[in-house]
A = this chain, B = another copy of it.
Amino acid sequence: MPDRYFDEIEIGQKWVTKGRTITEADVVNFAYLSGDWHSIHTDQEYAAQTSFGRRIAHGALVLSISTGLVPAKRETVLALYGLDRVRFIAPVFIGDTVHLEMEAVEKKEREDGTGVVGFDYRIVNQHGQPVVVCIYKLWMSKRPAN
């Protein structure tokens, strides 16, 4: 859907992406890049003692990975405008496979014809369970006149 122009998107349009497996390498690379070394992500002896029983992926990793699943094109998406009410509602374990389900739920046009589209945004695991949800807001182009 975000591969359409602002004026082409209609409230209620939906999109489901293909999946991506969250690997141990992803979790390690995210600890590297973010500098977030909380033991729940990086110490399996510690994690084994928690209620999760093993290491879990960083919420911000799962969110970051999902941004790459959005079918955005540079012609239509100008920028990530914002995120509302992000909630990390279920753990993601190493080996889980997540995909993204989006639905356009709001549009706000600007004077120049561009606008912000809000998507109901659900990152869902291989069991069909949402793990992260939010309203994802993209600033989008209007269709060029020609």
Report whether over half of chain A's contact residues are helix, strand or loop; otherwise say mixed. mixed
Q: Is the CB of A23 within 8 A of B28?
A: yes
Bound complex: CA A70 to CA B37 (Å): 11
Q: Is the CB of B35 within 8 A of A65?
A: yes
Provide the residues of chain B in CB contact with A140, threshold 8 Å. none
Asked if A40 lies at the interface with its beta carbon under 8 angstroms from chain B, I say yes
Q: Is the CB of A35 within 8 A of B68?
A: yes
Asked if A122 lies at the interface with its beta carbon under 8 angstroms from chain B, I say no
Determine the interface band of chain A, counting residues with CB < 8 A from chain B. Answer: 35 or more
A36-B68, A46-B74 given as contacts; is B24 within 8 A of A23 (CB)? yes
Contact residue among B40, B58, B72, B84 (Cβ-Cβ distance under 8 Å from A84) = B84
Q: Write 6 A-B pairs (CB below 8 A) sorted by A numbering.
A: A18-B39, A28-B29, A35-B69, A36-B72, A60-B63, A84-B84
Give the interface of A toward B (CB within 8 A): 18-21, 23-26, 28-30, 32-40, 42-46, 55, 58-61, 63-65, 67-70, 72, 74, 77, 79-88, 95, 97, 126, 134
